[in-house]
Structure 1
Amino acid sequence: MRYGMNPHQSATMTPVSDRAPFTVVSGSPSYINVLDALTGWQLVREAAGAFGVVAAASYKHVSPAGAALADSACSAYERARDADPKSSYGDFIAVSHPVDAELAGVLKRVVSDGIIAPGYDEGVVGTLAGKKRGTFLVLEADASFESPEHEVREVFGLRLTQQRDDLPLTRGLLDPRVPDAAARDLLLGMIVARYTQSNTVVMVKDGTTIGIGAGQQSRVDCVRLAGEKADEWWSRRSSEPLTEVAMVSDGAIPFTDNIEEAHRHGVTHIAEPGGSIRSEEVAEACAAHGITLSQTGVRLFRH
């Protein structure tokens, strides 16, 4: 690799088994490129498998700036990047399906570090490889690669091992009263939360993340940050109030102030693990604001 977390750190990458999850088609990756690529690829592969359409994500510093579903790779990425275009500046792109000339044409005009996808149509790699004076990174994912059952991390001389987070995220985790369209948005939000640094809150509307509050120590700050981004996204589209937003929290909502803040940003459906000492109060606050609450029993922390 070109370098580690920072240019003054050297770094290498070595496959755990006899095969790697991707091949380098063009360019030379850095440590953070690889983290973004592998995390983003897992997100879009899971989302595409869950919904049967194309998924794309725009990654920055191991969390998505945006993610979206669509019928084409180009539309999915444009929706993902438009979720938070300021944060997507210099992003790493993940797409669940092969990259075609239409998407390559869009990527020629945006500032981005690289892309991972399961394939590239003829001539596309040449178009992409010329970006950033030839340093744009193009990775081809092995779509059949499966992660080992356990993940290993070494920190300060200590090796930590845990089971890979592969719990199925299904409609059965949600309240039966949730309409199908909102259920899709909640499930997409859960998938996105699974691959976002905690604490995180994800707001979704019509198959697109419209606000992601990631990496905050306070959960209500996650809600506030996601809501501000959602409001900005909506203001570019309409002068009407934002409504019908689905919100996912990767951990239990601890206080009703989270619900008050969510209500301010048009949230009408929430999915969160539940199980906090104030979960009953949280449920009552949701009912008071007409918000359907799904307490899934599934925490989705990522650190």
Structure 2
Amino acid sequence: MRALISVSDKTGIVELAKEFVELGIEIISTGGTYSKLKEEGVKAIEISELTGFPECLDGRVKTLHPVVHAGLLAMREKQEHMKQLEELKIETIDIVIVNLYPFKSTILKDDVTREEAVENIDIGGPTMLRSAAKNYQDVAVVVDPRDYDKVLEELKKDKTVSLDTKFYLMQKVFMHTSNYDTMIADYLKKERQDTAFPETLTMTFEKVQDMRYGENPHQSAAFYREIGKRKGSIVDAIQLNGKELSFNNINDTNGALELLKEYSEPTVVACKHGNPCGVGSADTIMDAWIKAYHADKTSIFGGIVVLNREVTKELAHEMIQIFLEVIVAPSYEKEAIEILQSKKNVRVLQLTDISVPQPETAFDLKKVNGGLIVQTIDSKLLTEDSRLEVVTKTKPTKEQMQDLMFAWKMVKFVKSNGIAIAKNKQSVGIGPGQVNRVWATQQAVEHAVELIDEEATKGAVLASDAFFPFDDCVEVAHKAGITAIIQPGGSVRDEDSIKKCDEYGIAMIFTGMRHFKH
């Protein structure tokens, strides 16, 4: 029995090779792996001795040879194959231990050049892996060091690797090479930047964890992360306390984080079921918390809270007074961590780069039955050449403009049809996900009155994620005491809403840009 060993990751390889020698398995090796084995006193044949052809082109060509691939691909049960090997004086190779050039770690370096990345594209390794995996009935091919013990155990017990294990190893090989090739293709696509949407779309992700269940207990789920340099993402957060994150925790927290990134001043966002339920901005993070909490003291219970400033011990003391599922902040005072850890179930995460936005080229993906719809993320608040257009006789004051922009950021992350009402940089009413806009407006007003007080909407401003199809939303806003409105405009009946605003002395601004979120 012969084994070919050629690895970049040399974890455990010397120990494995020594066990192979004990079992009477002849070892063939290459380059740095051969040198490592020789240094450790492990007997091995260098690949050039086997092929009769020297390694060349700085090691680019060493295993790309018929002696190697015929030894891998020959089907032992086919007499014709074995006869040809005998005539060619080629021996079979029964075990392949190969892992690939570190392309991933290379491209993740800050100063990597294209030339360096390309030089770390493995050619011989994937070729050997595919040859061995194709002939899995006869060849055990190992790409993951975590499988060394499994293979060794079977060799010691049965002097062979079972067919079931070989098939398992084959599957891992093709998953691994697919992942490797996709990383290369993705890197090259980003280098060229010639099209956002290629004719074929391949993506690769790495598993972070299996999950207890998905959106509901009867659904299974796992969490995967993108491969690449990303900052400000929940996958990079460090968990300091609490149970592992659930499917819904991750989904809701991600939405809350994306809204938080819209604000530069001290801000707190509370989220529930994918919608913001309380948002507050202030001069201090404590005051921002007070605003977010008092915006909806009911819905925040069991919710997600994200903050863009350090959590102080005073703030931590306030936060543990209610049940929260997840808290995320860029940092925590030492005493704050101790206070929060007194609640063993609250998931406390630290995300240092919490304010870093996603790159504008990032994709938003939605799986549909039989396909996938892909779009770039909604990375803008206003169009680059947009000028806010005041379309009413009444002009917004400076304070109203601040609240209008606060509300416009917020409504961008409210499920459509979405309405957000704000006052003094505090959300006071949110109407998400209704099937018509007037219902969303009514709901936002009703929530404000019910959850805060009857004066909550007096002097407040209102943001709508899309245009008003009729003037009925203005009617609802007027009755609630709303004094200014921001919306995209673009309806064939815009003039009706403008006239109604003029009638009631409400200031209204058109943005020329909508923010549907489905």
Global fold match (TM > 0.5):
yes
Q: How many Å separate the matches in 2 of 1:214 and 1:167?
A: 20
By how many angstroms is 1:174 displaced? Answer: 4.9
Runs (4+) off by over 6 Å: none
Q: Do residues 116 (structure 1) and 325 (structure 2) align?
A: no
Letter in 2 for 1:86: T
Q: How many Å separate the matches in 2 of 1:138 and 1:264?
A: 42
Q: Contact 1:174–1:271 (CA<8 Å) still a contact in 2?
A: no
SS of 1:123's partner is helix
Among 396, 403, 428, the residue aligned to 1:210: 428
Q: Contact 1:196–1:214 (CA<8 Å) still a contact in 2?
A: yes
Within 5 A, what are the aligned runs for 1:96-245?
Answer: 96-131=308-343, 134-141=344-351, 142-143=353-354, 145-148=356-359, 149=361, 150-169=363-382, 172-175=387-390, 177-233=395-451, 235=453, 242-245=457-460
By how many angstroms is 1:234 displaced? Answer: 5.2
Offset from partner CA, 1:156-204 (integer Å, 9 cap, x none): 2311111111114499425293211111111111111111111111111
Q: How many Å separate the matches in 2 of 1:206 and 1:58?
A: 17
By how many angstroms is 1:115 displaced? Answer: 0.9
Offset from partner CA, 1:28-49 (integer Å, 9 cap, x none): 11111112211111212211x2
Change (3 A) 1:181 1:145: closer
Change (3 A) 1:137 1:253: same
SS of 2:225's partner is coil
Q: Do residues 271 (structure 1) and 481 (structure 2) align?
A: no
**Amino-acid identity (%):** 31
Q: Do residues 248 (structure 1) and 495 (structure 2) align?
A: no
Q: Contact 1:55–1:69 (CA<8 Å) still a contact in 2?
A: yes
Offset from partner CA, 1:20-63 (integer Å, 9 cap, x none): 6132412311111112211111212211x2xxx20111100000
Q: How many Å separate the matches in 1 of 2:328 and 2:280?
A: 16
Q: Contact 1:169–1:187 (CA<8 Å) still a contact in 2?
A: no
Q: Contact 2:478–2:504 (CA<8 Å) still a contact in 1?
A: yes
SS of 2:509's partner is strand
Among 478, 494, 507, the residue aligned to 1:292: 507
Q: How many Å separate the matches in 2 of 1:197 and 1:41?
A: 15
TM-score (norm 1): 0.90
Instruction: State the partner residue of 2:237.
Output: 23
Instruction: State the partner residue of 1:7.
Output: 217
More deviation, 144-153/284-293: 144-153
In structure 2, the gaps of 5 or more residues are 1-210
Q: How many Å separate the matches in 1 of 2:496 and 2:421?
A: 22
Instruction: State the partner residue of 1:33.
Output: 249
Offset from partner CA, 1:67-110 (integer Å, 9 cap, x none): 01112222212211211112222111011112111110011101
SS of 2:262's partner is helix
Q: Which structure carries more strand by proportion?
A: 1
Among 287, 308, 313, the residue aligned to 1:75: 287
Letter in 1 for 2:214: G
Change (3 A) 1:41 1:3: same
TM-score (norm 2): 0.54
Within 5 A, what are the aligned runs for 1:52-63?
Answer: 53-63=265-275
Count of paired positions: 294
Change (3 A) 1:43 1:193: same
Which structure: larger Rg?
Answer: 2
Q: Which structure carries more helix by proportion?
A: 2
Higher RCO by CA contacts (8 Å cutoff, separation 6 or greater): 1
In structure 1, the gaps of 5 or more residues are none
By how many angstroms is 1:242 displaced? Answer: 5.0
Letter in 1 for 2:435: Q
More deviation, 208-217/32-41: 32-41
Q: How many Å separate the matches in 2 of 1:217 and 1:104?
A: 39
